[in-house]
Amino acid sequence: MSLTIPQASQAGLFKPGYNSYDAEDGAVIRNIDACRTIAQTVQTSLGPYGRNKIVINHLSKLVLTSDAATILRELEVVHPAAKLLVMASQQQEAEMGDGTNFVIILAGELLKKAEELIRMGLKTSDIVSGYEKAQAFALKTLEDLEVDRLSNLRSPEDLSKALRTVVASKQSGQEDVLAQLIAEAVLVVLPKNPVNFNVDNVRVVKIMGGDLSASRVIKGMVLGREPDGTVKRAKKAKVGVFSCPIDVSQTETKGTVLLKNAQEMMDFSKGEESQLEAAIKELYDSGLRVVVAGSTVGELALHYLNRFGILVIKILSKFELRRLCRVCNATPLARLGAPMPDEMGSIDVVETTEIGGDRVTVFRQDSETATTRTATIVLRGATQNHLDDVERAIDDGVNAIKAITKDPRLVPGAGATEMQLVERISHYADKTPGLPQYAIKKYAEAFEVIPRTLAESAGLDATEIIARLYTAHQRNTSEVKRRTQDAESSDENSEEDDDEEDEEDTSGTSDSEDPYWTTGVDLETSDATGVLDAVEEQILDLMSVKSWGIRLATEAARTVLSVDQIIVARQAGGPKPPGPNPNWDED
């Protein structure tokens, strides 16, 4: 007699408090719904006319931005499936620094299309297989859509061309000013081999007041504090950087000193003073005129530093200390004493200035021959939220330069690349046998979400714009087909009239060189048609950002689709998480 296995398979299997969601309960559909919700949250923030979001995080800090990576980081998503999408966007941020919104929106749209296929009766395995084939074809097609490449990375015009679109998606209308600032800052620190460019070498200091046009680039560092001593300025000075306290050395253990009379007490303090004076004189004799302390500076030490005319400034952040060492080419020392000549740095100008009411210290390398490995963009603006948002745009721009050093190819922006992918992947789907062709077709349709969202954000009639884009891009496809047929027919007749056919064929090809596939959405509505040539208008995207975005979005969508069960353990004990602040809107 065979044993009957009970249906409640998890009874007694896990600890009490576990929750399980099966495919039979519609777990896949529910996961897709959660991912679509997170995609819809950031979808309206795409592009130059993207809307801002106000997010108030668990610390009651108000964040106002249209940057998808920041929005998702502050939202703290807990749904396991939606978290997969957030992780994909975070990976895009880490890898490319831009295109996070593209990843989330595309993955959300791929899952929306997958839901339609599931309701039609397709199995998730067929959808995953179709998406895999479509992704491989899309990445191969993307290689053919190159319209330009940056040959000279040391040209501000070339860099600005690639940066304008990246910056415009965050700060529309300010792209020319910001692209110029970023290009100038990057060229100051760009190494001989551009591949070694480090994004950390471009710093941003935000000072409220004025407007964005008052921002400027400084070849060095700006510190948001004054020097500690009376000396506030130095020129062509040697710099010593100390990570230890500049003070009388303390013993590790407590000691007791018995003083019998006033003379002994005076002698005791005099010995301490003379010891410290000798140490500071040693620094002065070695040629140091600027001392940077990574820890405390004692009052007595400060007195002697002022007496010898040495500028002293305290920097408590070890990261800032490291960056300052890069500016001055100095070595941080863990002991107080005269540094060796190769451990000393040099700086052209150290000065204290006032910017918008804030006193700051500027370490600047002025001479053309001096090399600095750090440049600082001093940003001016009306509000702190605005400055934070501009900083994110600059961060995206600097990361875009890093991506350009690896892959300088550019593709048309304004949704033109996505529309061309829709066309080409749809044709590929028609040639694919079996059930995966439905998934490939839906994969192609998913790319339509980018131009549609761009048009909706700008307040245009999205349906009409999409129809015009389809017309232009299909015209291009038929031109390509005609050219191929012409080439084949000319090969057949080449034996009879070789020269004449060649002339006719080349003239036919040049007529059909009209780049219909670079047509994108005209957000400025300067043209009545609502579409424009993205290449003519210099709206260009980085191919590497697009290709990584497609990879990560597809991978996230396939991962979500391949989940059929979620098992959630009971939360461990501990303090309750903070609840919502009821007075969040009070000053």
pLDDT at 514: 46
* pLDDT at residue 410 greater than cutoff 80: yes
Q: How far, in Å, CA of 407 to CA of 573, rounded?
A: 49
Mean pLDDT computed over 161-178: 79
The string of DSSP codes covering 48-89 is: TTPPPEEEE-TT--EEEE--HHHHHHHHT---HHHHHHHHHH
Burial of 419 (0-12, 13-18, 19+ CB in 10 A): buried
User: For residue 480, what pLDDT is reported?
Assistant: 55
Q: Which pLDDT tens digit goes with each residue over 255-281?
A: 777 878 887 777 776 777 777 778 888
**DSSP letters along 187-218, please?**
HHH--SSGGG--GGGEEEEEEEBS-GGG-EEE
Average pLDDT over residues 383-411: 83
Residue 58 in this model has a pLDDT that exceeds 80: no
Asked if the model's pLDDT at residue 546 lies above 80, the reply is yes
Task: Output phi, psi for 147, to 5 deg.
Answer: -115, -15
pLDDT tens profile 81-110: 788 888 888 888 888 777 888 888 888 888
Of 87, 2, 93, 5, the C-alpha closest to 38 is 87
Question: Does residue 394 carry a pLDDT above 60?
Answer: yes
**Greater confidence, 516 or 202?**
202
Whether 158 has a pLDDT exceeding 50, the answer reads yes
Predicted confidence (pLDDT) per residue in 453-471, tens digit: 888 887 777 788 878 877 8
**pLDDT at site 505:** 38
Contact by Cβ (8 Å): 418, 141: no
Share of the chain above pLDDT 90, in %: 0
Write down the domain spans for the chain: 18-147+414-480+542-569, 220-248+268-371
Taking residues 48-74, report their average pLDDT: 80
Q: Tokens 């002697």 — which residue?
A: 304
* Residue 349 identity (one-letter amino acid): V
> pLDDT-based confidence at 2, cuts 50/70/90?
very low
pLDDT of residue 6: 46
**Is the Cβ–Cβ distance between 313 and 228 less than 8 Å?**
yes
Cα distance from N-terminal residue to C-terminal residue, the chain: 75
Condensed to tens digits (0 to 9), the pLDDT of residues 278-294 reads 888 888 888 888 888 87
pLDDT score of 195: 79
**pLDDT digits over 290-310, tens only?**
888 877 777 777 887 888 888
Supply the pLDDT for residue 495.
45
Beta-carbon contacts of 357 under 8 Å, excluding residues fewer than 6 positions away, are 209
Reduced to 3 states (helix: H, G, I; strand: E, B; else coil), residue 109 is helix
Do 246 and 335 form a contact (C-beta atoms < 8 A)?
no
**Degrees to nearest 5, angle at CA 113 with 97 and 142:** 45
pLDDT at 434 > cutoff 60: yes
What integer pLDDT is reported at residue 502 of this predicted model? 42
Report the mean per-residue pLDDT for the chain.
76
Find out whether 107 and 435 touch, Cβ atoms under 8 Å: no
> Does 251 score more than 80 pLDDT?
no
pTM for this model (two decimals): 0.76
Q: With 70 as the cut, is the pLDDT of residue 9 above it?
A: no
Identify the pLDDT of residue 7: 47
When mean pLDDT is compared over 12-16, 341-345, 539-543, 549-553, the highest value belongs to 549-553
DSSP 288: E
Residue type, 394: I
Interatomic CA distance for residues 172 and 158, integer angstroms: 20
Tell me the mean pLDDT in the region 489-511. Answer: 44
Query: Is 496's pLDDT higher than 70?
Result: no
Least confident range of 51-55, 152-156, 319-323: 152-156
Q: Stretch 136-147: mean pLDDT, rounded?
A: 84
HSE (side-chain half, CA atoms, 13 Å) at 535: 15
Q: Any idea which of 206-210, 396-400, 417-421, 564-568 has the lowest mean pLDDT?
A: 564-568
Per DSSP, 328 falls in state H
User: What distance in Å separates the CA atoms of residue 445 and residue 423, rounded to the nearest whole number?
Assistant: 9
- Predicted confidence at residue 527, as pLDDT, reads 55
Do 396 and 92 contact (CB within 8 A), yes or no?
no
Question: What secondary structure letter does DSSP report for 251?
Answer: P
Q: Check residues 7 and 26 and name the one with the higher pLDDT.
A: 26
- Please report the pLDDT score of residue 577 as a whole number: 65
The SS3 call for residue 412 is strand
Residue 419 has what pLDDT? 84
401: pLDDT confidence band, cut at 50, 70 and 90? confident
Residue 418 has pLDDT above 50, yes or no: yes
Q: Are 467 and 61 in contact (CB under 8 A)?
A: no
